[in-house]
Structure 1
Amino acid sequence: MMMGDSFGSMGSSMASLFFLWATIQQIFPNHLKITIKEFLLSLFQQLCFAQRVSDHFTNLFSPYVEINFPESDKYSFNQAFSAIETYLESKSTDKSKRLRGSQVKESKGLVLKRNEAKVRDVYEGVNVWWEIVVETDGNRYYKLTFHNRARSLITNSYVKHVVQEGKSIIVKNKQTRLFTNNPSSQWVFGQNMWRSIEFEHPASFETLAMDPKKKEEILSDLIAFSNGKEYYKKIGKAWKRGYLLYGPPGTGKSTMISAMANLLNYNIYDLELTAVKNNSELKKLLTATSSKSIIVIEDIDCSVEFTGNRIKKENSSRERYGKEDKDENSVTLSGLLNFIDGIWSACGQERIVVFTTNHLEKLDPALIRRGRMDMHIELSYCTYEAFKILAKNYLDLDGDEAHPLFREIKTLLEETMISPADVAENLMARNHQINVEKSLRLVINTLEEKKDNQKSQQEKKKQKKFKMFG
């Protein structure tokens, strides 16, 4: 490195020669210009040759070793890269001349981090140098430089120390993020497949409006899964879990997913299938997700390829063409199942796959059979138990006898189909002023209206049936 530095002044010497030549152009006559030009060109060639020779000998006899840690390996993110980045950012900032300030949440103070391209570190008395390198195609990698005499210490101990320390800091300071997939036209060399924002949804299982027994069952299952690394290894299954959330709109499917993420501190990958062209793209997207994550496909019944209509469509194609009509430029059920339940399901650990649907009967049985979707969770209309949770959340009323109007609401809930979202809307404080009596009266009025409408619709259906068979 010192030998390379000794030749570093050659660049400035060349710049001086070009400046000298510009001056000569203005002062000397033409015949002298030609002579001087030939001399300068000869000197420039000699300097370039000397530079090439010096570089060769520097590399040949340099006692320093370099290890590169790229940000990605083809389509897979290099976990070591983020661990190294976190480790280097956590190094002491008291001597750093370049810092970066950030505030993750309003409730938290300003965080200062090192913001230098080159960082020196010391490990057991050995100096090492880290440098972030950005290539012309946008790919990044960390370059680690150290003396050859410390090769064994660095490769066997130091690198592992950096990665483990970085990962522990990531877990400690992890902020849950919400990802969504970009169209493949925006992918750059296997990167930029996902974009994300910080996820700050306040949902929790404590505030989730649903039957307490069902809630406890789901909660226990999630905790058992997150602690099940050795168990899944023992039984020879990929460490993943599938949940199917189904029920009418407004019954809390999205809120349930948010509560899951907050409980386990997992990232959410909201997969938009309409932006995926084919199975190959789907595979690349899913393998680029991180461990400790929830992969969500909402309203999966809206995709015709994953519904019961798929069978009719295939039969129609066979009758028309005598063979299956396969669209190679679309995502298919088999492509999705290959990641959920096939050999690709083992690519990554500690992942949860969640499907949501408003119409369970429309889904292809192959998609939701037990073993693929391990738990089928019905999120139904608001019950009295769910209402009590909402009343506690919004009005600070706790218990069966918290208010005299509870009995009337209980009776109406047993006779009326209403979503928890509709009940919550009536309990919401107006202008941030809580009025318990008024809010409960609004709930009662809404329940009575819905009860009358539902009764009227049922009578119309009965009359229609009577006309058909009368």
Structure 2
Amino acid sequence: MTMELLLDWKSIGSLLATFMFVRTAIHDFLPPEVYQALKRLFLKVFAALKPKISIIIEEFDNSYNNDLFDAVQTYIGSKCFSSAQVLKLSKSKNSKSLSYTMETNQNFEEVFEGFKVNWKFHTVEKKTNSMGYTRSHENRYFELSFHGKYKEIIHSSYIPHITEVAEKIKFKNRERKLYTNRSADEDGRLWSSVPFSHPSTFDTVAMNPIRKREIQDDLIKFVNRREFYSRVGRAWKRGYLLYGPPGTGKTSLIAAIANFLEFDIYDLELTAVTSNSQLRKLLISTSSKSVVVVEDIDCSLDLSDRKKEDINGDDHHDQHEKGRKRKHGNYSGGSYGSIVSLSGVLNFVDGLWSSCGGERLMIFTTNHKEKLDQALLRPGRMDKHINLSYCEISAFKILMNNYLNIQKHPLMNDIEELLGVVKMTPADIGEIFMSCEEDANMGMVKMVEEMRIRLRPAQESADINGELSKEDDQVAEEKAEDLKNEREDSVAAELVDSVE
């Protein structure tokens, strides 16, 4: 027995010595090119001997939905149309588009980073025992097969790629929502929603094209800078302030921004918020990829500039009285029972709670920017201020194309001249065009007539102001002459007194 063991060890030793000799000889005597070619050949032979690996992704994991199964189903559904023989077609309630899924035992093959992966969809009947009863249910799962040498790439790159693509597909196909906060929270939900289907886009918004392009570029930069915001230590959000006279298109621009980004909208009614803590709850219950909107913020709460109030002489008693009235709902800037303060709004926009979630746009609108406190207007809270003023010729051409479906007209020179002196909002122009949708020429004629009608009072006012100005000049000259005479009489009297 001992002799046999010794012989075995001697055989192993001889084999190792022979292997080392051959290896040294190959390394020393063969050219490097031949050596590398043989090395690659051996690697391929050993790799070919490795078995394929399969990963099973079931629909349920311990009775809970497997999110990865849903992601794979979405991912393959977007790619299997051209390769699978039998497909299922469906459309979910909250989806905008059709979706395809593979039928049982169908295959789908694709190439990822230069190597092939194979997918199969299986359905088997599974039986479970519970309380002495045997129940059967359908167990659905995907089987992913690939060569063993790509195991690390599958884990680190391919699976994350599937989940990322699936999230983008779901985001594109979802039905977008318009949310509003509830004044009374009967069923525990802070927001109620309806489908968002506003037709406004950047093509239809009546704005200067250069300004529109600037806003679009800013939005694109914002959504693509997740890593930048994380690197500089800022919450992934951006604040817009839209200000200008009523009817200049602030609401239409908000809808266009939401449609451009494909975000949901949360329309926050501050007068329905009873406290700062409820305001925080509303904020953290909003989703990422959303636009939080507060319209006419100067009318919802008293957010006036504290510095101006100090200059105007508001004493401590006046400030205390405003706070008391707001607390009891008797102040015009707030609703009954609302005690939301300026501090609460500032924390809502830029406090610690504002960092919850991500990729969120906050838009405030006002007709009177000068009334708002400077603390609310600073960068970090209102990063971009957009002035929406009266209509100019470039915006008028967009409205003319939207309503009348024309790009040119003989009256355009008159329109351009009148727009320089008459203040008309896009809402004013749109209302006139709506009554002449079927007759573009009549619409342009009515527009010129309306502008000239509005021009007359402005000219009369200017004439009156000019006459008053002339009268004021005459009065001033008379007063100056009287003062001059009084001074001369006074000097003369002093001279007489000195002579006497």
Q: Which residue of 2 aligns with 1:363?
A: 372
Please say if residues 176 and 261 of structure 1, whose CA atoms lie closer than 8 Å, have aligned partners that are also in contact. no
Provide closer, same or farther for how the CA distance between residues 103 and 226 of structure 1 changes in structure 2, counting only shifts above 3 A.
closer
Deviation at 1:217, TM superposition (A): 1.1
Shift in CA distance, 85/461, structure 1 to aligned 2, threshold 3 Å: farther
Distance change (3 Å), C-alpha of 1:167 and 1:321: closer
Look up the equivalent residue of 2:368 and give its one-letter code. Answer: H
Matched, 1:417 2:423: yes
Gaps of 5+ in 1: 1-63, 70-79, 114-121, 130-144, 147-155
* Residues 125/202 of structure 1: CA separation in 2 closer, same or farther (3 Å cut): closer
Going from structure 1 to structure 2, the CA distance change for 1:461 and 1:265 (only over 3 Å counts) comes to farther
TM superposition shift of 1:269: 0.6
Give the distance between the partners of 1:346 and 1:397, measured in 2 at CA.
47
Q: Distance in 2 between matches of 1:392 and 1:227?
A: 33
1:365/1:449 CA distance change after superposition, 3 Å: same
Q: Structure 1 residues 103 and 263 mapped into 2: Cα distance closer, same or farther (>3 Å)?
A: closer
For structure 2, the 5+ residue unaligned runs are: 1-59, 78-85, 102-118, 127-138, 141-154, 328-336, 476-500
Structure-1 residue corresponding to 2:222: 225
CA contact (8 A) 2:273 2:338 kept: no
Q: Identify the residue that residue 172 of structure 1 maps to in structure 2.
A: 172
For 1:403 and 1:235, locate their aligned partners in 2 and report how far apart those are by CA, in whole Å: 52
Q: 2 CA distance for matches of 1:185 and 1:462? A: 59
Aligned to 1:264: 261
Task: Give the distance between the partners of 2:164 and 2:63, measured in 1 at CA.
Answer: 17
- Within a 5 Å distance, the mapping from 1:134-213 to structure 2 comes to 167-188=167-188, 192-213=189-210
Provide the rounded CA distance (Å) in 1 between the counterparts of 2:423 and 2:255. Answer: 24
Structure-1 separation of matches of 2:306 and 2:471: 31
TM-superposed CA distance for 1:304, in Å, is 3.7
Q: Distance in 2 between matches of 1:208 and 1:229?
A: 28
Query: Given the superposition, is the C-alpha separation of residues 341 and 102 from structure 1 closer, same or farther in structure 2, using an over 3 Å criterion?
Result: closer
Whether the 8 Å contact between 1:193 and 1:285 is mirrored in structure 2 is yes
The residue number in structure 1 matching 2:456 is 452
Structure 1 residues 212-266: Cα deviation after superposition (integer angstroms, max 9, x where no partner): 2211111111111111112212222111111100011111000100110111101
Across the two proteins, how many residue pairs are aligned to each other? 350
Contact kept? 1:178, 1:199, Cα under 8 Å = yes
Going from structure 1 to structure 2, the CA distance change for 1:460 and 1:235 (only over 3 Å counts) comes to: farther
Question: Are the counterparts in 2 of residues 101 and 112 from structure 1 also a CA contact under 8 Å?
Answer: no
Q: 1:89 to 1:468 in 2, by over 3 A?
A: farther
Which residue pairs with 1:341 in the alignment? Answer: 350
The DSSP-based 3-state class of the residue aligned with 1:205 is coil
Q: 1:310 to 1:329 in 2, by over 3 A?
A: farther
Q: Classify 1:165/1:382 alpha carbon distance in 2 versus 1 (closer, same or farther; 3 Å).
A: closer
Cα distance between partner residues in 2 of 1:444 and 1:383: 14
Query: What amino acid sits opposite 1:441 in the alignment?
Result: V
Distance 1:165 1:415, change over 3 A: closer
Displacement of 1:171:
1.2
Which moves more between the two structures, 453-462 or 241-250?
453-462
Aligned partners of 1:304 and 1:310 also within 8 Å: no
Opposite residue 429 of structure 2, the aligned amino acid is V
Matches within 5 A, 1:215-364: 215-308=212-305, 312=309, 316-318=315-317, 327=327, 330-364=339-373
State the match for 1:32 in structure 2: none
CA distance in 2: counterparts of 1:320 and 1:228, whole angstroms: 42
Report the equivalent of 1:149: none
Indicate conservation of the 8 Å contact 1:178/1:267, yes or no: yes
CA positional deviation for 1:459: 5.7
Contact 2:390–2:425 (Cα < 8 Å) also in 1: yes
Taking a change above 3 Å as real, the CA distance of residues 332 and 123 of structure 1, as seen in their structure-2 partners, is farther
Instruction: Report the 3-state secondary structure (helix = DSSP H, G, I; strand = E; otherwise coil) of the residue aligned with 1:415.
Output: coil
| Superposition RMSD in Å | 4.4
TM-score using structure 2 length: 0.59
Q: State the one-letter code of the partner of 1:411.
A: E
State whether structure 2 residue 436 is matched by structure 1 residue 427: no
CA contact (8 A) 2:72 2:163 kept: yes
Q: What is the CA deviation profile of residues 396-455 of structure 1, one whole-angstrom value per residue up to 9, with x for unaligned ones?
A: 332xxx22100001100001100011112222264x52x121010011011111222334
CA change 1:467–1:291 in 2 (3 A) is farther
CA distance in structure 2 between the partners assigned to 1:320 and 1:210 by the alignment: 40
Distance 1:170 1:415, change over 3 A: same
Aligned residue in 1 for 2:21: none
CA distance in 1 between counterparts of 2:469 and 2:69 reads 70
Q: In 1, Cα distance between the equivalents of 2:263 and 2:125? A: 34
Give the match's secondary structure for 1:354: strand
Which letter maps to 1:427? F
CA distance in structure 2 between the aligned counterparts of 1:219 and 1:429, rounded to whole angstroms: 32
Letter of the structure 2 residue corresponding to residue 387 of structure 1: F
Change (3 A) 1:464 1:181: farther
Q: Residue 374 of structure 1 aligns with which residue?
A: 383
In 1, distance between residues paired with 2:402 and 2:435?
11
- Residue deviations 1:14-61, cap 9 Å, x none? xxxxxxxxxxxxxxxxxxxxxxxxxxxxxxxxxxxxxxxxxxxxxxxx
- The within-5 A match list for 1:44-59 is none
**Cα separation, 2, equivalents of 1:162 and 1:287:** 29
Give 3-state SS (helix, strand or coil) of 1:294's partner: strand
The structure whose Rg is larger is: 2
Are the aligned partners of 2:298 and 2:372 in contact in 1 as well (CA < 8 Å)? yes
- 2: CA distance, partners of 1:298 / 1:236: 29
Q: Deviation of residue 123 (structure 1)?
A: 9.5
Q: Deviations over 1:294-313 (max 9, x none)?
A: 10000011034212379749
| SS class of match (2:238) | strand
- Whole-Å separation in 2 of the counterparts to 1:320 and 1:413: 44
